[in-house]
Amino acid sequence: MTVITRFAPSPTGNLHVGNIRAALHNWLFARKYGGQFLLRLDDTDLERSRPEYVDGIKADLNWLGLHWDGEEKQSDRFALYEEKFEALKASGHVYPAYETAQELDLRRKVLLGRGLPPVYDRAALALSADQIAAYEAEGRRPHWRFRLDHDLPIGWTDLIRGDQRFDPKLLSDPVIRRADGSWLYMLPSVIDDIAMGVTHVLRGEDHVSNTATQIQMFAALGATLPAFAHEALLTGSEGKLSKRLGSLGVAHFRESGLEPMAIASLLARLGSSMPVEPFTDLQPLIDSFDFAHFGRAPARFDEGELASLNQKIVHLLPYAAVVDHLPQGMDEAAWDAIRPNLETVAGAADWWRIVTGPIDAPFPVDEDRDFLALAHARLAEASFDAAIWRTLTEALKTETGRKGKALFLPLRRALTGLDHGPDMGQLLPLIGREEALARLSV
């Protein structure tokens, strides 16, 4: 069997971190088994779906390296939905209902007030022909519900949650089509999963009850069930569901200077028993991905952890991977020198300005002025090679008796304008003799 997964966002907004995690896990699972990862744009909401959101979703997936093997748009498939809908009508699996939204809301409140589950009572099935005619005369048009089989227990073995069981009598017959003819999520998703040959449906645990009703839709359409896996939802760093998670998307991560692999490294294992580690390539994440590692505990997303992970990944990146994102003139030696001090690749530009100058160095204190003058003299007469920092500091240590901070800090301040930074043994050769002499002039 060829594994086929799908990512099915609605192009009514930008992808957020929860969407990205779902896309990544579907992609990893498909790649692990040499299968296909499909992109399906669930754009049945024609009023809210926008081409710019479609473009944004694709750009985000490409930036993350999650390339897809096929693409579908639900708005191109209405004829197929109509065909399957008519078949379900003919077989008695769907029925019209005439209640208004206000009437349904009132019924729900009454049931809840009595301490009962707000399950639809199937009143529409008891309507007489005269009552239906009266509703039609009022101008009411029916919405359509899928009729659950109350005698057919619902169950499946979830790849993450284990055995799941639902009593269909405790579920409302889901509305699948609005009175204006537009489609809700439930039925088109099943029709598409069948038509696209999807073998594994991986999504959030908020879809568990949807799966229970959709299982009977698969059966009504004569299709084989895919396997299901429902992941625990992400929570914020404070341990609660966070509205901020709904606004964190790829644009935010890019603007923060984060690497795609930092996002992938964190989200691939978040909520699993496997350690979150910095990776510079997706292959180890593909190889290690396994539903068995995921549990039902909430998965906590922490931006601080992501930033720390990003820093570790930046420190692992070779020059070839970043050369197109570095300032002009910055070579491999400069990258190797500056890289250990970076939080993001973009930060290399700030350090490169320290190398190329000009810098704003603090005026030396009185006791350092003669010391820096001596450093200027010794640097001027020394052979300027890769070991120049060691040559210079050993000479100054011998002549002045200075050591530790008293020896190194005045030199670093004069040469970089800062109290900290990259290894001066690597930085001084990049600054160059003439520029270094100019900076030591006091």
Q: Is the CATH code 3.90.800.10 the one for domain 80-177?
A: yes
Q: How high is the mean pLDDT of the chain? A: 95
Nearest-5° Cα angle at 163, 157 to 167: 105
Q: What is the mean pLDDT of residues 20-30?
A: 97
Residue 177's DSSP bridge partners are 144, 183
Two structure tokens written together for 61: 């997936």
pLDDT tens, residue by residue, 399-424: 999 999 999 999 999 999 999 999 99
Determine the Cα–Cα distance for residues 300 and 270; give it in Å rounded to an integer. 7
Q: Is the pLDDT of residue 321 over 90?
A: yes
pLDDT of residue 249: 87
Among 176, 177, 119, CA closest to 150: 119
Q: Is the pLDDT of residue 238 over 90?
A: no
DSSP 344-383: SGGGHHHHHHHHHS---PPPPPHHHHHHHHHHHHHHHHS-
Cβ distance 235 to 205 under 8 Å? no
- Domain 1-71+232-316 classification at class level: alpha beta
Confidence of residue 1 (pLDDT cuts 50, 70, 90): confident
Confidence of residue 241 (pLDDT cuts 50, 70, 90): low
Determine how β-strand 36-41 pairs with β-strand 70-73: parallel
Confidence of residue 373 (pLDDT cuts 50, 70, 90): very high
Cis peptide before 278 (omega within 30 of 0): no
Domain boundaries, the chain: 1-71+232-316, 80-177, 319-356, 366-440
Q: Is the pLDDT of residue 240 over 70?
A: no
pLDDT of residue 243: 62
pLDDT tens, residue by residue, 113-152: 999 999 999 999 999 999 999 999 999 999 999 999 999 9
Two structure tokens written together for 149: 């089989």
Q: Is the pLDDT of residue 173 over 70?
A: yes
Q: What is the mean pLDDT of residues 31-60?
A: 95
Assigned CATH for 366-440: 1.10.10.350
Q: Which has the higher per-residue pLDDT, 22 or 245?
A: 22
Confidence of residue 299 (pLDDT cuts 50, 70, 90): confident
Q: Is the pLDDT of residue 43 over 70?
A: yes
Burial of 234 (0-12, 13-18, 19+ CB in 10 A): buried
| pTM beyond cutoff 0.85 | yes
Residue 41 Cα distances to 9, 130, 157, 217, angstroms: 6, 42, 27, 21
Q: Give the rounded percent of residues in the chain with a pLDDT score beyond 90.
A: 93
Confidence of residue 40 (pLDDT cuts 50, 70, 90): very high
Is 243 assigned to a binding site? yes
pLDDT tens, residue by residue, 329-345: 999 999 999 999 999 99
CB atoms within 10 A of CB 255: 8
pLDDT of residue 239: 62
Q: What is the mean pLDDT of residues 183-206?
A: 97
pLDDT tens, residue by residue, 62-120: 999 999 999 999 999 999 999 999 999 999 999 999 999 999 999 999 999 999 999 99
Q: Is the pLDDT of residue 247 over 80?
A: no
